[in-house]
Structure 1
Amino acid sequence: MVFESIVVELINRYLGDFVENLDRSQLKLGIWGGDVVLKNLDLKESALDELDLPVKIRAGHIANLTLKIPWKNLYTEPVVASIDGLYALGYPQYR
């Protein structure tokens, strides 16, 4: 579906710094309900780099990422992201 590939490209643009290899097979769209559900996402080791935290990610996984998108009111209502099943193995980063 063309719409799915457009949504995947947009999500890759905004989440690409945090997750590995997002593709259409991980995506479930509920267009009229406003939900975009992504399943089985792997975190990149560099996911926390921009936050300047003293922690690095060794490995990480997100079971479900749900984006509630108000398609009818995109300019007046927020997009809400919910994460279910976040697993991360981190280690301290010394400076």
Structure 2
Amino acid sequence: MVFEALVAELLNRGLGDYVENLDKSQLKLGIWGGNVVLDNLKIKENALNDLDVPFKVKAGQIDKLTLKIPWKNLYSEAVVASLDGLNLLVVPEGSHSQQFPGH
């Protein structure tokens, strides 16, 4: 559907600094209910860079991201995001990935 591709493009612009490229196959749209659901999002390794924290993402995934979008009142109501299944593996900043013997 063309609309799903458009929504995926808009979400890439907004979430692109934090998650790998979205595509329309990850979207479940409930336009009239105001929900956009994204499944299995891979978090980018540089997702936390702007937060000035002493660690970085080594690997990460969001199992499900739900955005409740007030389509009729976009300028007066908030978009609410909820996460289900946030998995992050973080390592201290500046650490080198260690390999186990034999790998």
Q: Return the TM-score normalized by structure 2.
A: 0.88
Amino acid at match of 1:60: G
| Alpha-carbon distance in structure 2 between the residues aligned to 1:23 and 1:69 | 19
Query: Partner residue of 2:31?
Result: 31
The structure whose Rg is larger is: 2
Cα RMSD for the two superposed structures:
0.8
Corresponding residue pairs, total? 94
The structure carrying a bigger strand percent of its residues is 1
| Alpha-carbon distance in structure 1 between the residues aligned to 2:87 and 2:37 | 18
- Identical columns (%): 68
Runs of 4 or more, structure 1, over 6 Å off, are none
Cα drift, residue 55 of structure 1? 1.2
Query: Partner residue of 2:54?
Result: 54
Query: Partner residue of 1:18?
Result: 18
SS in 1 for 2:3: helix
Gaps of 5+ in 2: 95-103
Q: Return the TM-score normalized by structure 1.
A: 0.96
Gaps of 5+ in 1: none
SS in 1 for 2:12: helix
| Alpha-carbon distance in structure 2 between the residues aligned to 1:6 and 1:53 | 34
